[in-house]
Structure 1
Amino acid sequence: MVLPPSFQSDNPNQVCRLVRSLYGLKQASRQWNDKLTGALLSNVAGNNPVQINQLKQFLDRSFKIKDLGQLNFFLGIKAFRNSKGLNICQRKYTLEILEENGFLESKPANTPFTTGLRLTNLEGDLLDNPGIYRRLVGKLLYLTNTRPDISYAVQQLSQFVDKPRHTHLTAAHRVLRYLKGSPGNGLFYSSNSDIKVQGFSDSDWATCAESRKSITGYCIYIGKYLVSWRTKKQATISRSSSEAEYRALASTVCEIQWLIYLLADLKIHIDSPVALFCDNRSAIAIGENFVFHERTKHIEIDCHVVRQKIHEGVIKLLAISSHNQNADGFTKALPKPSFDFFHSKLGLQDLHAPA
């Protein structure tokens, strides 16, 4: 805080009383964002140690920061860096969840969700203490930051936090038993990866037994390493599997476009179209064919962002078999062999597993 330009005082130690805190104003977040954005855009980040130190010194002059050294542990996420790359995991956080719920000595499960299980709001008795279920699901949601293999299971469980039942808690306990088998699994990013973006989009049509809404699942890679993934129930009911797949494509395209913008901010430009794989040829035809009026007139206009990005050369749709669809595990519960294949494509690494 500085004195107003017109303020005159003979006492150099005199200060102004703060009538209202800046952080209490509605404009506080916008002002902070403007200042931080301006400061960051005026400097360029990189992997040069000299430039990194210069950036730290600049930020310290602007915001009075403290250099805590190499990233090691942040918000429950462990970061381990060596010459090969970076591994991030939440082993300590996972063990705390298992201990809190009494599953440290449980028998591990092969998959996080039972194949063919359909949870509903009506089957099973209501829990006497729903807070236990809500806390568990909330912690599992945070765990998906480094454990994409449980994304589908947690998405299913999170739909019932309002009135959880014993069947829902049993399904949540299976996730804990699965985590018991590999609490140290985490994402690995190689230091020698090429900058090639590719995505996989999938959908499970009318999978919700009550609303008949479909599930969107996608995963996006830079090189061979997973950087973005999602499992989400679609907002509207799709009239066909092709429509459900096309809506999933629209969500994936928007995510890819956001990643391209992010990479551009980091001075990395993607020249060639991003390969987007889909296992539904009809959905690919809808995206590439501008004359399918009768089959697509009921689909919302915002879904046709797929056509626009194809026309602009941002993405290129490619067909892929369902067996090789990496996003399959984000839309449904898979049996053990299929889940193992899905798991192998996520780039998970366990530093604590025996050699």
Structure 2
Amino acid sequence: MVATLDNVEPTSFTSANRHPQWCQAMDSELTALLKNQTWTLVPYHPSMNIKQLDVQNAFLHGLPNEEVFMSQSLGFTDTAHPNHVCRLNKSIYGLKQALQAWFERLSSFLLEVGFEGNDTALVSRFIQQIAECKSVSTLISSTARLTMTSGNLMEDLTVYRSTVGALQYATLTRPNIQFAVNKVCQYMHRPTVDHWAVVKRILRYLKGTINNGLALDRTTSMTLSAFSDADWAGCVNDRKSTGGFAIYLGSNLISWSSRKQATVARSSTESEYRALANAAIELTWLQSLLKKLHIYLPRAPIL
């Protein structure tokens, strides 16, 4: 039982701080962030209106286009400046603008080293292969049972990782592939030929539905409504559940997500409530964003 508990991923700093291996992981992560000069400590000012930001991964190398502040990490407060806050110099995972900031910096670098904005020579062969393949009308089933050990390990891991990375951009306008893309993302560290077959099916589906997209209609309704759902212990590798949500402003879909939950749910009710909680967090953020745009909702959001 002790060995089993040690393998459970901690859900808070307090529980992680009890295990030497997690302390080492946190130290390494913080060292990398400091080495990359991800933030600068500055005095706190009441006008900063700091909110909680949960950082679950390493930094991105993007540069934010606006000033973003966050509190110092629990357990890693600077003893010389305990009341200072972190002003971000670079985007990090967990930040809404991180993806755009990373893309803008990558694009600028490629242009600086001689690439042209419309230069497709490096990807033309791959695009041609997609164009010549047969399209399919369906994605993977929501009950598909992929495992970490299914199939033989791929010889070229880069092609899997780069393709799946590109598919994440497609989810920005194609919410219907969110579940499938999230599924193949879970095997980036050890992709097999079976996982690659699912990736190719996603590409074949995109080819057959290339003219599909989000329909944004003009509407007078300003009602913000959210729908959430979750399976229970759907992942055969770690028995974690997958939850998701879709949020509408009037009749227009404006936000969506499908991802594996961080911890194992002990019941289907627990996994459903976690999906509800994630939807509520997104609703709260959207309310704040609309308020900054001077758009005020006539009634409370519906969840």
Q: TM-score, normalised by structure 2?
A: 0.59
> % of aligned pairs identical?
38
Contact map agreement 2:136 2:201 (CA 8 A) in 1: yes
Question: Would the alpha carbon gap of residues 205 and 98 (structure 1) be closer, same or farther in structure 2, given more than 3 Å must change?
Answer: farther
1:202 Cα shift?
0.4
1:170 equivalent in structure 2: 197
Question: Would the alpha carbon gap of residues 152 and 193 (structure 1) be closer, same or farther in structure 2, given more than 3 Å must change?
Answer: farther
Letter paired with 2:243: T
| C-alpha distance in structure 1 between counterparts of 2:207 and 2:242, whole Å | 27
Task: Kindly report structure 1 stretches of 4+ aligned residues shifted beyond 4 Å.
Answer: 27-32, 96-99
Higher relative contact order (CA 8 A, sep 6+): 1
- Higher strand fraction: Structure 1 or Structure 2? 1
- Which whole-Å deviations, capped at 9, do the CAs of 1:58-90 have from their partners, x for residues lacking one? xxxxxxxxxxxxxxxx98xxxxxxxxxxxxxxx
1:350 equivalent in structure 2: none
Contact map agreement 1:98 1:180 (CA 8 A) in 2: no
Given the alignment, which residue of 187, 195, 199 partners 1:160? 187
Given the alignment, which residue of 173, 181, 190 partners 1:146? 173
The 5 A counterparts of 1:275-354 are 275-276=302-303
Contact map agreement 2:223 2:299 (CA 8 A) in 1: no
Contact map agreement 1:98 1:176 (CA 8 A) in 2: no
Structure 2, unmatched stretches of 5+, are 1-36, 43-62, 69-102, 105-119
1:98 Cα shift?
9.1
| C-alpha distance in structure 2 between counterparts of 1:200 and 1:243, whole Å | 16
SS of equivalent to 2:132: coil
1:191 equivalent in structure 2: 218
Letter paired with 1:102: Q
2:300 equivalent in structure 1: 273
| C-alpha distance in structure 2 between counterparts of 1:190 and 1:151, whole Å | 22
Question: Would the alpha carbon gap of residues 196 and 260 (structure 1) be closer, same or farther in structure 2, given more than 3 Å must change?
Answer: same
1:205 Cα shift?
0.7
| C-alpha distance in structure 2 between counterparts of 1:98 and 1:116, whole Å | 33
Question: Would the alpha carbon gap of residues 220 and 115 (structure 1) be closer, same or farther in structure 2, given more than 3 Å must change?
Answer: closer
The 5 A counterparts of 1:1-355 are 26=40, 33=67, 99-100=126-127, 102-114=129-141, 116-276=143-303
Letter paired with 1:218: F
SS of equivalent to 1:125: coil
- Which whole-Å deviations, capped at 9, do the CAs of 1:40-73 have from their partners, x for residues lacking one? xxxxxxxxxxxxxxxxxxxxxxxxxxxxxxxxxx
1:270 Cα shift?
1.9
Contact map agreement 2:226 2:247 (CA 8 A) in 1: yes
- Which whole-Å deviations, capped at 9, do the CAs of 1:210-251 have from their partners, x for residues lacking one? 110001110000011110000111111111101100011011
| C-alpha distance in structure 2 between counterparts of 1:241 and 1:202, whole Å | 10
Question: Would the alpha carbon gap of residues 217 and 106 (structure 1) be closer, same or farther in structure 2, given more than 3 Å must change?
Answer: same
Structure 1, unmatched stretches of 5+, are 1-22, 35-73, 76-92, 277-355
Q: TM-score, normalised by structure 1?
A: 0.51
Question: Would the alpha carbon gap of residues 101 and 167 (structure 1) be closer, same or farther in structure 2, given more than 3 Å must change?
Answer: farther
Question: Would the alpha carbon gap of residues 185 and 99 (structure 1) be closer, same or farther in structure 2, given more than 3 Å must change?
Answer: farther
Question: Would the alpha carbon gap of residues 199 and 139 (structure 1) be closer, same or farther in structure 2, given more than 3 Å must change?
Answer: same
1:26 Cα shift?
3.7
Question: Would the alpha carbon gap of residues 27 and 211 (structure 1) be closer, same or farther in structure 2, given more than 3 Å must change?
Answer: same
Contact map agreement 2:241 2:265 (CA 8 A) in 1: yes
- Which whole-Å deviations, capped at 9, do the CAs of 1:157-202 have from their partners, x for residues lacking one? 0011111000000000110110111113222222334211111010
| C-alpha distance in structure 2 between counterparts of 1:31 and 1:162, whole Å | 31
| C-alpha distance in structure 1 between counterparts of 2:139 and 2:67, whole Å | 40
Number of residue pairs matched by the alignment: 196
